Amino acid sequence: MRRMLIYAGIDEAGYGPMLGPLCVAYSVFTIPDHDPDRAGACDLWKRLKKAVCKKRADRRRRIAIDDSKKIKLPNDGNVHPLRFLERGVLGVHMAMSDCPGCDGDLLSNLKAAISSAPWYDSSTQLPVAHTLDELRIAAARLRKTMLTESITCEDLRCEAIDTQVFNQQVEAMGTKSSVNFCSVLRHIDAIWSRWPTEHPRVVVDRQGGRTHYLDDLLRAWPGTHIQILAETDTLSRYRLERDGSFITISFLVEAESAHLPVALASMIAKYVRELMMLRLNRYFQSIMPELKPTAGYTEDARRYITDIEPLISQLNIERKLLIRSC
């Protein structure tokens, strides 16, 4: 019997800011003729080393895939801050299909819904930090390497939870960690539903300092049989079974460093958030040209909100639609 590994990773970006969306993404790879019970031994950085690496600066000009915090450049540097982040996300995307012409096309492909708030009512041509030919060369190299290794990137998705929905969900659930975790559960369910007979292995960056997830998993999938495989300081792993269908979920500390699908998910979530923040800043700067843009994180977000207070009043903007409650 032929064995195949469905290998998925989930991560988020934008958990802490006051402005902009919380983005939770996943990536899914399939590796045929691989023992699924040895998912931890499947090092995609090693398997795809002719085309990908972890370091931004690579003499062989491979695509850098790692935790987005290591890949994104500072906003005040000499190089475009999204240069390596974009190369990773669009490089993988273009290894699967054509380059999206604008951010709306990419968001549609990732199934990331765009808020109807007026500050998101614009579009950004892609790519923003490269020439199209540069990305095509990188993507072609990755496509060839994946073909040689019989590895397929099956799916890339991102959920963008903007301020209004975020605030509503925090009010209903009590904490923003619950909002984030529920999005993770939706992604897991989507993966399990797509591959019900293939026993997917899903790796998730650990949710805060938690080590126990059994009760939450039982609430998400009532009636499911769940086996605890590990609950340690660094790893919480569970095997779920319903009607003969299995999935194994691992919550791992610093999962982005150990699993390429998680690192890629981190980059997708971050890139989507950055594109949304470009729209938000463009809207307010179109009315107030001297306004300095923001990444939306707390300290600078407070400065930004103070700067646009006249616009908030002038445009009758409901603060709960723009500013997160926590």
The token duo for 30 is: 């399939």
Tens of pLDDT, residue by residue over 56-96, are 989 999 999 999 999 999 998 899 999 999 999 999 999 99
Amino acid at 323: I
Count of CB atoms situated within 10 Å of the CB of 290: 6
Per-residue confidence (pLDDT) for residue 208, from 0 to 100: 80
Q: Is the pLDDT of residue 42 over 90?
A: no
* Rounded average pLDDT over 238-260: 96
Q: Is the pLDDT of residue 41 over 80?
A: no
Evaluate whether 262 touches 11 at the Cβ level (below 8 Å): yes
Helix, strand and coil content of the chain, in percent to the nearest 5, comes to: 45, 20, 35
Tens of pLDDT, residue by residue over 181-224, are 999 999 999 999 999 999 999 999 997 888 999 999 999 999 99
Tens of pLDDT, residue by residue over 134-172, are 999 999 999 999 999 999 999 999 999 999 999 999 999
Evaluate whether 29 touches 7 at the Cβ level (below 8 Å): yes
Evaluate whether 188 touches 247 at the Cβ level (below 8 Å): yes
Per-residue confidence (pLDDT) for residue 39, from 0 to 100: 47
Confidence of residue 2 (pLDDT cuts 50, 70, 90): low
* Rounded average pLDDT over 265-271: 98
Q: Is the pLDDT of residue 3 over 80?
A: no
Per-residue confidence (pLDDT) for residue 207, from 0 to 100: 79
Confidence of residue 116 (pLDDT cuts 50, 70, 90): very high
CATH (domain of 150): 3.30.420.10
Per-residue confidence (pLDDT) for residue 76, from 0 to 100: 87
Per-residue confidence (pLDDT) for residue 36, from 0 to 100: 63
Report the C-alpha gap between 191 and 185 in whole angstroms. 10
Per-residue confidence (pLDDT) for residue 37, from 0 to 100: 65
Angstrom CA distances, 62 to 45, 55, 97, stand at: 11, 9, 19
Angstrom CA distances, 132 to 98, 135, 154, stand at: 11, 5, 23
Report the number of distinct structural domains present in the chain: 1
Tens of pLDDT, residue by residue over 271-318, are 999 999 999 999 999 999 999 999 999 999 999 999 999 999 999 999
Q: Is the pLDDT of residue 34 over 90?
A: no
Angstrom CA distances, 73 to 38, 83, 297, 319, stand at: 34, 8, 16, 30
Q: Is the pLDDT of residue 262 over 80?
A: yes
Location of structure tokens 């590990």 = 230
Q: Is the pLDDT of residue 40 over 60?
A: no
Range of the domain at 148: 4-322
